Amino acid sequence: MKKILLVGNPNVGKSVMFSRLSGARVVVSNYPGTTVDYTKSRMRVEGKEYEIVDLPGTFSLEPKDKAEEVACKMLEEAKPHTAAVIDVIDATAVERGLYLTLELIERGYPVVVALNMSDAARDRKIKIDVKKLERILGVPVVETIATTGAGLKELVSKIGKAKPTDIEAVKRRLRREKK
Amino acid sequence: MSGYAFAKVYFGVLGATILLFGILQFSTGLFGPELSAGILTVPQDVWSGLILFFAGLFVIDGALKLHDIHGLGKAVMGSIMLWIVAGCDIFARIMTPIFGEEGWVNAPNGFLSVFEPPYAPALFLLPFSLLIVHFMRKSG
Amino acid sequence: MKAKARLSVDERWELVDEISKRVVLRGKYKHTLKDVLSDLSVRPATGIPFMIAVLYGFWMFFGAFAGFFTDGLAVPFFDDHYLPALQGAFPGAGPTMAESSPLYMILVGDPNATNCFEAFGVLTSALFVAFGVVLPAIVAFYLILTILEDCGYLPRLATLADTVLHKIGLHGFAIVPTILSLGCNVPAVYGCRVLETKKQRFMMMTLLGVFIPCAAQIGIMRELIPQYTGLILIYLFFGFFAMGALLNKLIPGRSPEILIDVPPYRSPQRSNVLRKLGLRVRHFLKTAVPFVILGVVVVNLLYWTGVIDWLSRVTEPLFVVWFGVPAATVGALVMAFMRKDMAVGMLGGLASAGVLSTGQLITSVVLVSIYFPCLATFIMIWKEGGTRDLLKSLGVLATSFFVFGGLMHAIVTLAGV
Ligand SMILES: Nc1nc2c(ncn2[C@@H]2O[C@H](COP(=O)(O)OP(=O)(O)OP(=O)(O)O)[C@@H](O)[C@H]2O)c(=O)[nH]1
Ligand SMILES: [Mg+2]
């Protein structure tokens, strides 16, 4: 069975999203490092069954502690069976999230970006040009609010469109956006 | 601005009262004896005394610059500390004497007696501190 | 497929910068009340008094809630109605425990017991401790903990604790596993994975396993010796720091500093609070209750076969001279292998039967607390740290047991309790 992996920095809402998408119950708390092991469940997308995995948060693919190790190892092992990596980014701290996104792209994972906590970003007067980000990265980008479920339908509809791209192409597209 | 002038005095006085009771409660907690006057009784408890002491300080400090979000924040923090002490008191009142000697049986009488005076200072000051909620709303 | 280009760390950050410059627009942002409160709760001058208030509220709620269900409901029900009825109705009762049938002894326990702590049978003590005392404590503890977790207070507590914890080579974030450990040691040992170095993980797992009592145990302590529970907890925390400082000196390895990530305050969602509370209560019912029952069965069998009497005789000098407690405590220590809450409950039975004085009860509660991680925690440390770490942990444990048990004996003697 193909896998869908939930990846992202700590405390960005991966586990909330996992519960919403799969219906499984996992622990959600408002501090980094809540999830320290992976949890698997099932979900259906467009009639096809997938295995969806909630991973511990990580800042990069070079693990700094044992929880990050679990995430990186799972990413490594699941690579051949990965249908999509849902890369969850905290919209109030885009930079930290993008670092991991670029790493994922470099290693050739099929990525869909979920710009989560978009409600918090709006409150903080942070605007993100989703279309432009999508053009630069060359992968689908969806604004979501995991706690209310907003945007998740759209996110799921993009899972099928996830495909690998490479970092040189990202650089090229970035230069094009420059003018 | 006259609303704020009034509020500054109001919370200044409230803070001073909390502070005073905090000191009283702290020192009776250390040295006794229990003080009682009318519907008020000061419990002998060092910890809640200490908390009220700081709560009073924060409310006074906040009241001085209430128009500013930082001042308001401090007053709110002091109020929350007061609410914690008062909340624990109310909760303990509800939870302890319901069952009494006879278990659940005497609940109706016991239940009413729970809310009879005398009150601890935190409980007594609780309603007066609720005005801060108005200012919290106003700041959004 | 051709090899993909990889960037260096700096190049990657540069690229991130370029991208975010083009897509992120930051408007003018005014500080809100939430930000101010967030700031005030991590600054020591305001944060420490606030922390005291939060912990005070935690403790008072715990006491009132657990007290209501235990003293108000469970104790009258179990002691006045359930126990006498069961003692009368269950076949096989003799005039004393020894003269009763083995089945009666295991299921009901002492036919003359007047309370459920003393009886020590599966249907009496085990049920009473698990559902009458520990369950309310667990619910009360996790209700508050979950709210604190969800609003985001714990990382702020970590920031405040950072200075102190750094002195013993731990990162401030170690306070989070410590607090979780006050609920149950098992997920806390698991949570040590977020610590960076092997040294930190080993230290933390060991200190948690040795010194931090779980909510089940605290609940039963509060029931038995309410006026001393706070002091015992403070004593154990003192042990935590003293041993931590020592381990930090002895164990080679780094204790790197990292910044604590403090998320914004969020209002807890009721659905999440209830779901988590449900998860944790279910976890307790599934993993603790069987061990409580199994423990009572095993200990009763060991009594019956004379193993515990033999153990008591062998270890008597140690217990009487060094710890100042009667050898009868051995039974409770055997129980503590399986569940510490039930072990403390056993001590309560001994105290109520007049075998232990208050001072001896305090010392033996400390002994049970330090003595051995419960089976579940033991397995967890093994799984997370491996055999070597487990053995080292046990070494630390044995040392702590003698030192802090003996010290408590001295304190109790000097204080004349
Ligand atoms: N305002 C807001 N809060 C959110 C959103 N998504 C998640 N949260 C909150 O963010 C916190 C963290 O959520 P988790 O799902 O535990 O985060 P995680 O990514 O699994 O975290 P780790 O397991 O520690 O890596 C919780 O308090 C959630 O309620 C969102 O879209 N908006
Ligand atoms: Mg998680």
Q: Is the pLDDT of residue B100 over 60?
A: no
- For the stretch C239-276, pLDDT in tens is 999 999 999 989 888 777 667 889 999 999 999 999 99
ipTM of the shown complex = 0.93
CA-nearest residue of chain B to C80?
A: B103
Q: Which chains touch A (3 or more CB pairs under 8 A)?
A: C
CB pairs under 8 A between B and C: 90
A 66-85 residues with CB < 8 A to C: 66-67, 70
Domain annotation covers residue C30: no
CB pairs under 8 A between A and C: 127
* Position B108 confidence tier, pLDDT thresholds 50, 70, 90: low
- pLDDT at position C287: 86
* Ligand showing the shortest atom-to-Cα distance for residue A114: 1
Establish whether residue A51 lines the binding site of ligand 1, counting it when its CB lies within 6 angstroms of any ligand atom: no
- pLDDT at position C339: 87
- For the stretch A80-96, pLDDT in tens is 999 999 999 999 999 99
CATH code for the domain in which residue A144 is found: 3.40.50.300
Q: Which chain C residues have a beta carbon less than 8 Å from that of B48? A: 56
Q: Which domain holds residue C132?
A: 38-415
Structural domain total, chain C: 1
Q: Which chain C residues have a beta carbon less than 8 Å from that of A29? A: 146, 149-150, 154, 276
Whether a cis peptide bond, with omega within 30° of 0, leads into C213 is no
Across residues B31-35, what is the average pLDDT? Answer: 80
CA-nearest residue of chain C to A137?
A: C19
Q: Which chain C residues have a beta carbon less than 8 Å from that of A12? A: none
Domain annotation covers residue C9: no
Domain annotation covers residue C321: yes
- For the stretch C165-184, pLDDT in tens is 888 888 888 899 999 999 99
Nearest to C53 among B51, B73, B140 (CB): B51
Domain annotation covers residue C27: no
Across residues C375-382, what is the average pLDDT? Answer: 90
User: What average pLDDT does chain A have?
Assistant: 94
Which residue in C114, C90, C120 sits closest to C292, CA to CA?
A: C120
Structural domain total, chain A: 1
* Ligand showing the shortest atom-to-Cα distance for residue A91: 1
* Position B106 confidence tier, pLDDT thresholds 50, 70, 90: very low
Domain annotation covers residue C21: no
* Ligand showing the shortest atom-to-Cα distance for residue A57: 1
Across residues B115-119, what is the average pLDDT? Answer: 77
Nearest to A36 among C173, C190, C279 (CB): C190
- For the stretch A49-60, pLDDT in tens is 999 999 999 999
Q: Which chain C residues have a beta carbon less than 8 Å from that of A120? A: 264
- pLDDT at position C288: 87
Q: Which domain holds residue A30?
A: 3-178
Whether chain C has a CB inside 8 Å of the CB on B91: the answer is yes
CA-nearest residue of chain C to B76?
A: C37
* Position B105 confidence tier, pLDDT thresholds 50, 70, 90: very low
Minimum CA distance residue for ligand 1 atom 16:
A28
- pLDDT at position A72: 96
Radius of gyration of chain A (CA): 15
- pLDDT at position C88: 87
Domain annotation covers residue C26: no
- pLDDT at position C415: 85
Atom of ligand 1 nearest to the CA of A28: 16
Across residues A10-30, what is the average pLDDT? Answer: 95
- pLDDT at position C206: 93
Atom of ligand 1 nearest to the CA of A19: 15
